[in-house]
Amino acid sequence: MYTRTPNDFNNFPLWNSRSCPMMPEEMLNENREMQFPTTTGGPTFQTEPTPTVQNDIGYTQGWLKTQIGKYIKIEFLIGTNMLIDREGVLKEVGISYIVIQESGTNDLVMCDIYSIKFVRIFSDQTKVRD
């Protein structure tokens, strides 16, 4: 047994420096085969399909998809206090955009869905041109 004074680290070694700690004999054998864990095939998990934003009518995108082909008027909030509107036939709805075909020019306009504030679906759909 060693007796030491506190903080006296230089006088006595912590272990016998002539011999190293023993290694298990199976670790010393260099010809040993590596044992890998075997699996019998993991479980296959199947998750229940959840409605996506584009298909669930509880979301703006899902509801707007039900209105494709109708003549609409959309009001957008630009900045903090400026509203602009666009009219035309709703052609496409994506996750973050919609595409309308403007009535006067037949141009396709892609619009940011997150700046939409109001959507008017006209009951008189006689303006729709195919």
Positive or negative, the Cα torsion across 72, 78, 84, 88?
negative
pLDDT given at position 13 = 58
> To the nearest whole number, what is the mean pLDDT of the chain?
81
Mean pLDDT, range 104-123, rounded to an integer? 94
- Please provide residue 26's backbone torsions phi and psi, each rounded to the nearest 5 degrees: -65, -20
pLDDT given at position 28 = 64
Distance CA 86, CA 107 (A): 12
Which of 24-28, 43-47, 99-103 shows the lowest mean pLDDT across its residues? 24-28
Distance CA 70, CA 121 (A): 7
Domains and CATH numbers, the chain: 60-127 (2.30.30.520)
Distance CA 13, CA 17 (A): 7
Q: Which two tokens stand for residue 9?
A: 């680290």
